[in-house]
Structure 1
Amino acid sequence: MMAVLLIFQFSIYKAVLLALVCFGASILTFYSGFGLGTILLVVFALWFPIEQAIVMTAIVHFINNLFKLFLTHKNIDKKILLKFGLPSIIGALGGAFLLTRMTDDQALKLDYELVATDAAAQTNLISSSSKTIAAASWDQKALDPLSIKMPDVPGLATLRLTLKNGQGQVLHRNFVNYVIESKNNPTHKQIISTKPGDFKAQQWSLKQWDVLNGLKENGAGAGFFEYDITIPPDLMTDQIKSSYLVMELSSKPLLDKDRGEEFNNNQDYMLGSKVSPSKNPNAYPMTDDDLHPSTVAIYLNGKKVVTTTLADDPADHLGVLSWHAQLQDKKLREAGTYGYLVKVPLDKTTLADSKRQGLLHLKLESMDGGGLAVYGAQFGRYPIDINLVIEE
C-alpha cells in the first residue's frame, strides 16, 4: 500500500511539474508562431523521454491555440499550418530522435595520472589509476571525488585526466595544476637555493628591474647578474655522487611598457596598435614566430664553464607559476612568462674550492644585448630558484 501511495505521489508531482513546464513554454512561445514553437520538441527531448517530449509539445501548441482563439476569436490559418507547421513537426521529431540516440548508455573509462616536478627540476610520475563511469545520453551529474595523494616535497604537480569510451577512443582531456609547499628535500638530495633577487652585483646597458618583489629579475640589453651561493661548512664532499646548478632563464627584450614615459614622445598613435603593441601595462606578447634570442655566458668562480643561447622570451599557458603568482587586483605583471631549464654540472674540484671559500660565485652574462630574465620558484614554468643540487 505504501509503495502504491509513493508511486501515486510521484506521478502527481511529475504531472504538475510537466504542466508547469508546458505552461511556461506556452507563454514564452506565444508570439513565436507554430513552426518555432514545435522546435521545443527538440529541447524537451534533452531532459524527457521522447514520448513525453511529443506530448508536452502538443500541450504547448494546444495552450497557445486556446490563448490565440480566446484573444483574437479567429481560427488557425490552414495555409500557414500546412506550410510551416507540418514540416517543423517532422524536422523536430527527427531531431529529437537523433538527439536521444547520439550516444548509447555505456561505461566510460577515466584514466588519470599525477606527475610532479621537484626543486631539482626532475619530473616524476607519482601515481596513476583509472575508474569506470556509468554514462547515459545527455546525463549531467556530479561524479564521486578522486582521492589523490600529493608528494611531500616542494614542487609543481599536474593531474592529467583522459576520458575514453568503451572502444578506447579518447573523448576528452583535461588537467589541473597544484603548487606544493613543503620544507622537505627530494630523496637523497640536498638543495641549496638562492633567490633571483639576491644578486651581489648587476649591471645592464638598458634597464634592470624586478617583478612582484623579486619573484623574477629582469636585465635588458647587455649586462650581468652575479650571485654568491653559500656552501655549508659541514658539507661532506667525499660522499657526494654528483652536483649541478639548475635554473630557469630566458632572454629579456625591453618592451615599450617598460621604457618609461620618454617612449611616448614623438609617437603617432593615429596609426593604431602598430605603433606599440606592448605599451599596455597589462600586455605581454605571447609566444610566436617573432623570436628574441640572447647568448648567455655562465661563470663559476670566475671561470667560464658554458655558453648557451636562450631562444626567446616566451609567454603562454606553460608559464603556470607566473599566472598563479598574479595578485587579485585586476592587473597583470608579466603573466604567463617563463624560461628555459639550464643545467650546469659541477666537477669535484669546483665544489671543493667553493667549500673552502664558503661560497660558489656565479655570474650570468648576456653577451649580445638580448637581455636576461631569472625566474624564481614561484614564477615561470619550473618550481625552482637558482638551485645547487647535491646528490648523495
Structure 2
Amino acid sequence: MSRSEVAITVEELSKRYKLGLMHAGSIRELVNGVTDRLLGRRQEQRVDATEFWALRDINFSVQEGEVVGLIGRNGAGKSTLLKILSRITKPTTGRARIHGRVGSLLEVGTGFHPELTGRENIYLNGTMLGMSTREISRKLDQIIDFSEIEKFIDTPVKRYSSGMYVRLAFAVAAHLEPEVLIVDEVLAVGDSVFQKKCIGKMQEVGTEGRTVLFVSHNMGAVKQLCSRAILLEHGQVVTEGRVNDVVNRYLLGATECDSQGWIPHDQVRTGTGEARIRRVQLLGEQGDVATETLLGQRLHVRLDVEVLEDIPDAHFEIGVYSEDGIAVAVTHRDIDCDVDKLPVGNLVVDAEVDVPLLPGRYRIGAAVYRDSGYTIDGLERTVGFEVARYGKDHARPYRWGEVRGYVRPETKWAVSGAAVSQRTLVNKQVK
C-alpha cells in the first residue's frame, strides 16, 4: 500500500484518563478551607487519582475511498478514538494522521454553536474545513434540502430538537466535501426513513473516492455500508478484516453471559430494578445447555430471576433476535401466582417457544415488566445459538443455498389451472 493511498494512519495510539476523587478531609480542614477562600489564600487539595486507559496501543490504517465500520460494545473506546481522529482531544501516546479535510458527526451537541442559526452554522463549519464562502454557498441549497428543515434554517440551533440537529449536522458533514467523513452512532436519533437516506449518502460518498469511518451498533447497517470492519474490545483492536468476518466475530463474542448462562454483574440493563434476571439458558431435549437447535425444533428457554421487592403486576417477555439485532419473535406471559403479587425470592421460569426459525444465528432477549409497560429488568443480548440446516435425524434438510428471512410459516398452497388437477399443498413444520 503506497503512502498516497492511505487516508487514515493510526500508530501505537493510547489515551489515558485520570479519575480523581478529592478528599473532603476533617471538620478542621473544612473550616480552614473556608477561611483560606475568604482570605484569598491558595488551598492545597489532596486528590486520589486512578488511571483509566480508554485506548491502548491502537494500530490500523484506512485507504482512500474505503468505507470502514468501527464496532464494539459500549465502553470499548470507539467514541474516544473518533474524538482523537476528529482532533477534539489529543492522544496520550502515539499518533493519528489523516490526509485531507475531515467532516465528523459525533454526539449531538458537537460542532455547532448553539446561539447561531442553522444557516450560520453551515458557513461556520465550512470555514473550519478551509472552504471559501463561495464554495459553501454552492452547496447551501443541497444541504438545506437534504436536512429537510428549511423552515427552521434561520432559527438558532439551540432551539432544535435532537432529530433536527442530527439532520442538519449530517447534511453539513456529508455535503461540504471532506476527504474523510467520520460518523458516530448519532444516526439512531433520526427516523428510519432519514437513516436510510443517510446510509445512501454515505454509500455515494464512498463511490466518489472519499473515505468513511462509520460507528454503529446496527450490524445490518454496518454490513450494508462497509466493506471492512475493525473490532475494538477494552480499548484495543482485537481483529480487522472483511466486514462479514468481523461482524460475526463480534456477535459470537458479544454474548452477555457465560457458558452456563449467568449474566455478569456489570451488564448494562434497562429497567427500574425491583427484579433481576440472573441467568438465561437455552436447553436441549435432555435438559442440558444447548448452543444449537434443529430445524423446526421448539426453543426451551429458562430464566433464573431474583425478585428484590414484592411486585404486584409483573410479567415476562422472551424475544428471539437475528444477528443484526432484528426482533424476529417476541412473546409475553403473565405470571401465574396464587397471590396477587410476585413475592421476594428466587424463581425459575420455563418457556417453550414454538417459532419456525430458518437456519442461521440468533440471540435470546428477556425482560420482566409491569402492566403499565414499564420495564423492571431488560436484557437485549444474552445467549446466542444457531439453527441447523436439518431437522431431527437429519430429516428434511433446508435445501436452498441462500437463507432468506428468519421464519418459515405454515402455509397452505392451492394450485389450479387447465394443465393440472386442483390440489392443496401444505407446508408443515419439521417436528
Both proteins in one fold, TM over 0.5: no
Question: RCO (CA 8 Å, sep 6+): is it higher in 1 or 2?
Answer: 1
Larger radius of gyration: 1
